[in-house]
Every structure is written in structure tokens, then in C-alpha cells.
Structure 1
Amino acid sequence: MKQVSRRVLLGAAAATAFITTAVGTPYAAAGDSPNASPEGTTIPSATSITDIGGAVWTVSGGVIYRNGSTVGETYNVSVLLWYGGRVYHCGTGGQWYVCFNDVWRKVTDPRTALSAPAGLMYGVNGHYDTQLSPAVIADRMSGLGASVFRVNTGGDASTIGRAAAIASHLNSVGKHTFPVIDAGLRDASGALAYGTESDAYNAARAISTQVAQAFAPYGVTMYECGNELTRDPYIILPDHVADAGTKAIDFNNTNWPIMRGFMKGLIDGVKTVQPSAACGINFCKSDIGAADALWDGLQPDGSGGYPQIRWDITTWHNYEGDGDIFHIGADGAGPSFNLPVYAKARYGKPFMMTEWNSDPNQGTTHRASYIQSQLAEFRSHRTTEAFRSAMFYELDGGTQWGLTEADGTPLDPPYSAFKSFVSAHPDV
């Protein structure tokens, strides 16, 4: 669940981070050029491509040039593509690549649609220690039209048991529970709890094994393994906290293996109990640098050959102050890009927005408008980027964050805004 400190930062930044023409729809991130080539432009048949930063790309003799200089090592390039705010190319051998931070990484053709099945599109967040009974949670979900309840488990038997009790009731009335294993990297004093990657792995595996054993009897088949671990101050460098994380060097090279081992342990523990369960690892803002490094087994310093962390669902947290996920600025600035398109091409997994909400410094009327605009945007990408679920943070968050008051009383206009959108756009 959302860290309190980040909630405050998000709210303070939201009003100034982006210029907007409508709620939730940025006009441009800093650095965006109004002269960018149309989406889907290719060489051939065009002779050049202008990216959203204003750079001009060409191909000569099978080699790619940007403003007249080569970009990385390329050869035998047959197609150069401008799509989703990034430059892609395909070689004569049929392999596609995307350019990020002047590195070409293997992907699939980003234009290929990846669809997600119906049934999980609308979700809400809650907590194991909510004052709402499982029956009230289920009733409010039914009123909203939500089918998924994301709940944190903590890392001990007490919190796991309380969350599993919610899952038990929701399963009995046909609702889905999506546990987030909210165990972290710190001990009770706030210090880094683990000295080695293997120590972190073993501890995490024990925790997630216990979680899966508790939840499997209640129809749970999906888990989120960790909560914003890339944003722990032990992992993200202090002078990069405000950045968006598109560069691996934004992260602590020394402590990175601790986080990597913890993530892998969480996944492996779940899989020990439920081999077919789908596991996700969440990222924030535009943490592509973190996601790519984990996926490819890289350290923040660029060295490789380390364990590759592979997830079954790409999960993300994105709040209004972070910018529109489909048009998000790189490292807190520009140029912007379409993050779900990149994730689809890069990882090939279904995409879930497991935390999202508006600027908490705005009122409930603003939140209601934001809810409807964001749900429309999320839903429109279900059959193109496999956008499987959007889980609003949070159900019972009161006037600052919620759809209901802490006691479950519907909070309008946000509650009605969510309800009316789902009613008009059922998840079928």
C-alpha cells in the first residue's frame, strides 16, 4: 500500500508536475516537441523520423543515426519505427529492439496487440486492519461494480491471517482477492535487515510460502510480491528520489542484490505452494530502469550475469502527480513515452495498475472527474496492451483518498463517479 511519505510528496507535486488540458490528460511533459512524427511512422517509407524530443533519426546502409551520429551499435536494420514515444527497429533477422538511454534492448513488435480477458478490470485497495467487515467490503464492491480487492498481508502470521479472512468471505460471494505481500527490507529499528542476497531470498521465500498457504484455499491465483521495494531509501539513491527511475543508475548498486534476492524469494515461495499462480512485482512512476535491470539480470552499474527476475504480471503504481502512464515523462522531465506499450513489447506480460488515485490536495469533485477519465483511458487499452486491471487506492480512505468513509459510508461524488462509469462500461 502507498507509503505515507510518498503520498505527501505526490500531492504536493501534482499541481505543478504537468500542464493539463483535461483531468488526467497531460498536454505535454517537459521536453516534448510539438513536431514529433505521427505515431507509427516507419523508415521506409519515410526518410526520417522526428522523436518527441525533437531529434531526427535516419537509416543509412542499415545503420541508425540520430542527428547525424550513430546510436549504439546497429547493423542490417530493415525497419525503423516511431511508436509509443520510443524508437524501435527490426533487423533483417526479424528481431525487434527498442532504444532507451541509448541502449538497444530486445523486444517484440510494439504494434502487436496483447489482450487481457474480461472479469478483473475494476478493483479497489484495502488493508488487513480495516474497520470494515468482510461483508461490508463485499457489499461496497458490489455497489461499485468492482470485482477485485487488493489487500496487504504484512509478513507475519497475524496480518496474513486477517487478510486471508477477508479473502475467505470474498471468495464465497464471487469476488477476487489480490494479496500484496507487504514485507519489506528493514528490521524493527529501520535498518537494512539482510546482509546478503541469499539471506534476503531465504527470508522472503519463507514469508511468501506462508502467504500462499493461507490464501490458496480461497481461490487466490494472483499475488503481488513486495510493495514499492524500488522506492525504499536503501534502494533508490537519495538524490534520485524525485526522478522517475528510467535509468538503472538511479538505484543503489550495493544494496540492489538484497532487493533482487527478496523479490525472487517472494516469487519462488508462492510458486512452491501454487506453481501456476501469477506473480507480479510492482514499480512506480516510470521505473523502467529498475524493471529492465531486474528482467535482464543487471546491476545499476551496468554489469550483468546476475539472476534474472521474471514475473507473470507487470504491475505498476501511478498517481496523478506522476503523470499520465500513457504519456509519462522520463526521470521527472521529458521527453515522455507510453509506458504500457513499452512494457508490453519488453516483457510480454499482462499489465495491472495496482495503485492509482488523484492529487490528494484537490477535493472530492476533482477526484470524481479523475476517476472517470482514468478508467476510460485504462479500459481502452485492455485489448491492445493487455491492461488487465485498475485497482483504485483506496476503498475506505475517507475524504483524502477514498470512495467511502472509514466506516464504509459511500463518499460522493467519488463513489458515484466510479459506480456510474462501471455501470455504463461493464467488464465483459
Structure 2
Amino acid sequence: MKLRLMVLIVLLVTVGATVTAHFESTRNRDDPKRPPVSTTVRVPFYGVNGHYVQGGVYATNIAQQVADMRAMGITSIRQDCYSIADTAKMASLVSSFAPVKIQPVFNVFPTTTDETTAYNQFYAYGRTVAGQLAGKVAVIELMNEPENMYFTKGPRYSGQNVTDWSASNSQWAAFRGAVRGFYAGFRAVDTTMQTLITSPSVGWLHYGMLKGLWNGEAPDGSSGHPRATWDITNYHWYHDFGDIEDAGGVNTLAAIKSAFNLPIMLTEIGVQKNVSGSVYNSYVASSFAKYASKAKTYDIIGVDWYELYNFQKIDGFYMGLYSSPGVVNTGRASAMASAVAANPAP
């Protein structure tokens, strides 16, 4: 799973999935008398990952980046942000990337262990970021892979239960407060839900972390805590994880659909370990065919390939569809273009 960089088709039209649903705010979940807010937001279905704020190949030649994405039928680019200065930069780049949509990730974690302090800090962040981006982007993500980037100890078992993170229980309250605070702060400004907010992204079978947030449960087994909420459940899945519908006998898509009954975005899919070109290209084709065909079954509204350009080399392997702007990695870009063309966005 990627974006560990701080610690670590040809279709010429914009495709997207229209999401029309009733989404509940945190207040609505806690107050059944308050009616849910209804919104219609157009979320691009096919996207890629980028790293503009980290510099390098992604920070130059935006026009060529847009041309490369459009040549493959890609309509959004996921951008990691590590501060409100980064999200302000994303706001300033919306027109530069158009018609490709920017999909920011607010990848900031608590620096406290106190829930109230974290809530207040992230409430302020949410208000600020909403002022910058509400209505300019369809979706904003909150926190990338906290199980890798925030929690100091991994789960004892598979991660399907929040109690699997019992060794990191001291970090949980602040994490919960941050998620709750950001959502509430953003919604205090963006009251009509011009921009939707995803859950923190997790991968493999780590959805127990999200269930704990959603149900007001903690890794120490306690319950009755304030509940976090979001508009879209965010997940990551890579080639080496196997079949997302049969991971060690677990249908992960069915599990997260059942747990939250919300639309699902897979904001990182791809090949993260050294494989042959034929295996890489085959996975492009098979994964896009699967997610497009299963979109209605599980309410999948977007998938983002990791990544557009060669950026981080892991064990001698680059994941990019292109090696650099305008320069394709042999076979990969054409495989993506063919996959998108063969599997129209739902």
C-alpha cells in the first residue's frame, strides 16, 4: 500500500458516476429527528494517483499530465496533501488540471492523545479546507492508511475487529476525535454537501478500524463512545492481496457494504510488487473489468490506479503507467486505455 512517502480509452470525454443518495451528518446519526441532507454529486469513476506537492515529476508540465490522463480515459487525479497550505495549492490548481478533476487527500494525523483537543484542531482544519475546496472538488479524502502511517503497532490478527488494535488503544481517542472534528468542521461550512468526504482509507482486511469509528467502539473493547461518520467508504486493494471478493475466504466488498451501507471508493488499486509486464497489464484489465461489473452490486463509485508516473521505486519496481510526462511505460498506458474503453464507467 502506497503514499508512505512522508514517513514513507482512448476516450476524450469526461466519464463519471452520478451519486444521488441521502448522506447523514454526524448530528443526523446522533439525532434521528434531524432529517438527512440530500445531495447529487458527480464523482469521476476512473482516476489515477499523483503527488504534486511532493515535487519531482508530478510538479511540472501539468498540461502534459492532463493530456496523458485523457489519452487513457482517466478523469481524476488523487493528490496527497499534508497541510492546509497543500490543500490551498490544490484549490489554486483546479483550473490548471481541468477537465481532469483533482481529488485531494487531507493526510494529517493528530499530534495529541486527547480526543477533545484533536476534535477541536481538526474541526478548525475542516472549516479551513471547506473554505478552500468545497464545490471545487467532488470528493476529499480524510487520512491515508492510518494503520500504516499513524498507529505505531499493527493489528494482532487480520484487522477485521477494532479490538485487533488493542496495543495502540492510547492513540484511538485522538484518532476518533480528529475524524469527527474534520467532518463536522467541513460540514459547518459546506452545509449543502457540495463536496463529499470519504472515510480514512484502509486496506487488506483492516475494515475493523472503520467499524470501530462508525459504531463508537474502541480497541480496548469498550463501546458507547462518540461515533464518527463519512459520506463514502474508502478502501485500498493491490494485486498481491489476491481477490477482493475472496481474501482468505472473506468478501471484503460485501463486508464494507454491509457494515456502512455507503458508496465505496477504491482510491488505490494497482501492482506494488515486482512483476512482469504481462502480469501488470493483465491486472489492469482484470481489475477494471471486475470493479466496473461489480459497481452496482456494491455501489462502487470510483477506482484510482496507483499511479500515473514512476515516482517511488520499491525493490527495483516502479508502478507508473508512464515513466514521465508524455513517455509511456511500454504496454502499461495502452493496457489502461483499453481497459477503460472496454469497461465504461457505470
Which TM-score applies when normalising by structure 1? Answer: 0.65
Pairwise mapping of residues 25-424 of structure 1 onto structure 2 (< 5 A)? Answer: 120-129=44-53, 130-157=58-85, 159-170=86-97, 173-185=98-110, 193-216=111-134, 218=136, 220-232=137-149, 235=151, 237-238=153-154, 240=156, 243-251=157-165, 252-275=168-191, 276=193, 277-281=195-199, 282-329=201-248, 336-397=249-310, 400-424=318-342
Q: CA deviation at 1:199?
A: 1.3
Match of 2:330, SS state, is coil
Task: Verify the 8 A CA contact 1:396 1:408 in the aligned structure 2.
Answer: no
Distance 1:272 1:118 in 2: 21
Cα offset, 1:119, TM superposition: 6.2
1:366 match: secondary structure: helix
Contact 1:167 1:215 in 2 (8 A): no
Change (3 A) 1:350 1:307: same
Q: 1:195 to 1:254 in 2, by over 3 A?
A: closer
What letter is aligned with 1:215?
Answer: L
Which sits farther off after the overlay, 395-404 or 310-319?
A: 395-404
- Distance, in Å, in 1 between the alignment partners of 2:112 and 2:229 is 22
Name the SS of the counterpart of 1:253 in structure 2. helix
- Flag the 1:346–1:208 CA change in 2: closer, same or farther, 3 A: same
User: By percentage of residues, which structure has more helix?
Assistant: 2
Aligned in 2, Cα 1:239/1:420: closer, same or farther, shift over 3 Å? closer
Task: Find the aligned partners of 2:6 and 2:245 in 1 and give their Cα distance.
Answer: 25
Q: Calculate the aligned-residue CA RMSD, in Å.
A: 2.4
Equivalent pair of 2:109/2:175 in contact (CA under 8 Å) = no
Structure 1: how far apart are the matches of 2:268 and 2:324?
18
Contact 2:288 2:343 in 1 (8 A): no
**Matches of 2:241 and 2:280 in 1, distance apart?**
15
- Runs of 4+ aligned structure 1 residues displaced above 3 Å come to 4-7, 116-119
Q: C-alpha distance in 2, partners of 1:151/1:421?
A: 23
1:13-63: per-residue Cα shift (whole Å, max 9, x none)?
xxxxxxxxxxxxxxxxxxxxxxxxxxxxxxxxxxxxxxxxxxxxxxxxxxx
Note the C-alpha offset of 1:247: 2.3
Q: Per-residue deviation at 1:133?
A: 3.0
CA shift for structure 1 position 150: 1.1
8 Å Cα contact 1:225/1:280 also seen in 2? yes
> Normalised by the size of structure 2, how large is the TM-score?
0.79
Q: Does 1:3 align with 2:36?
A: no
What are the Cα deviations for residues 228-250 of structure 1, in whole angstroms up to 9, with x where unaligned? 123345x363574xx53112222
Shift of 1:222: 1.5
Once the two structures are aligned, what percentage of the paired residues are identical?
27
Return 5+ residue gaps in structure 1 as ranges: 8-115, 186-192, 330-335
Aligned length: 300
Bigger proportion of residues as strand: 1
Alpha-carbon shift at residue 180 of structure 1 (Å) = 0.8
2:62 partner amino acid = P
Provide the C-alpha distance between the structure 1 equivalents of 2:342 and 2:185, rounded to a whole number of angstroms.
Answer: 40
**1:271 maps to amino acid:** R
